[in-house]
Amino acid sequence: MITFITRRQAESVYGVELSDRQFQDLNECLVKYEINNLNRIHHFISQTAYQSNGLHCLEQVDNCHYLEGRNDLGNISPGDGHKYKGAGTIQIIGRANYQAFSDAVSDLNVMDGHTYVSTRYPFTTAGFWWWNNDMNALCDESPSVKIVTARVDGGHGGLDSRIKYYEKACQVIIELLK
């Protein structure tokens, strides 16, 4: 396995111990989605840390009834709202997004729903979103945390916390492993 950052570095930013599966998925994600320089990694780690509440929230916590019947998300069958609720460190939502992710990682089990995805691909889901939203190109322009947050969040929610995660990432990840 190619490793860009150490377990200790990741745990220092997220503030919790990563399971072996999480650590492997993190580094596989960084490789697969070319999150492979310090700027990209600092922003990715800090945004996923905030979005997942320090890895404490890898699944959407509400009952997701409001996602039922959302054709824009591909939720066409009863139960799709709950089954395809948000999962991962930057949560994917909806049957259509799960299907696109399943196709991207060539894993039909993704369609089993949120529990499988949040356990198997907590970071890869975020990398998939990151790649599809051209975040690497943005990070290569050395943006502020505020600019990255606007792209991730659609606003500036939690900006102070995101900045703290970013500063921590910059402090502990000062060079990449090769």
The answer to whether residue 93 is domain-embedded is yes
Written in H, E and C, the secondary structure of 135-167 is: HHHHHCCCCCHHHHHHHHHCCCCCHHHHHHHHH
What pLDDT is stored for residue 63 in this prediction? 80
Give the span between the Cα atoms of 123 and 2, in whole angstroms. Answer: 15
- Domain shared by 78 and 161, yes or no: no
The answer to whether residue 177 is domain-embedded is no
- Domain shared by 113 and 148, yes or no: no
- Domain shared by 22 and 35, yes or no: yes
Domain boundary residue among 100, 120, 140?
Answer: 120
Domain boundary residue among 103, 120, 137?
Answer: 120
The answer to whether residue 2 is domain-embedded is no
- Domain shared by 107 and 76, yes or no: yes
Domain boundary residue among 120, 139, 159?
Answer: 120
* pTM, to two decimals: 0.94
Give the span between the Cα atoms of 157 and 164, in whole angstroms. Answer: 13
- Domain shared by 159 and 147, yes or no: yes
- Domain shared by 129 and 107, yes or no: no
- Domain shared by 102 and 90, yes or no: yes
- CB under 8 Å to 5, separation ≥6 — which residues? 26, 27, 30, 41, 45, 173, 176, 177
- Domain shared by 103 and 143, yes or no: no
| Per-residue pLDDT tens listing for the chain (178 residues) | 678 899 999 999 999 999 999 999 999 999 999 999 999 999 999 999 999 999 999 999 888 889 999 999 999 999 999 999 999 999 999 999 999 999 999 999 999 999 999 999 999 999 999 999 999 999 999 999 999 999 999 999 999 999 999 999 999 998 877 6
Number of domains comprising the chain = 2
| Structural domain boundaries, residue 94 | 65-120
The answer to whether residue 1 is domain-embedded is no
What pLDDT is stored for residue 105 in this prediction? 97
The answer to whether residue 95 is domain-embedded is yes
Beta carbons of 45 and 51 less than 8 angstroms apart? no
Give the span between the Cα atoms of 114 and 72, in whole angstroms. Answer: 18
Give the span between the Cα atoms of 10 and 3, in whole angstroms. Answer: 11
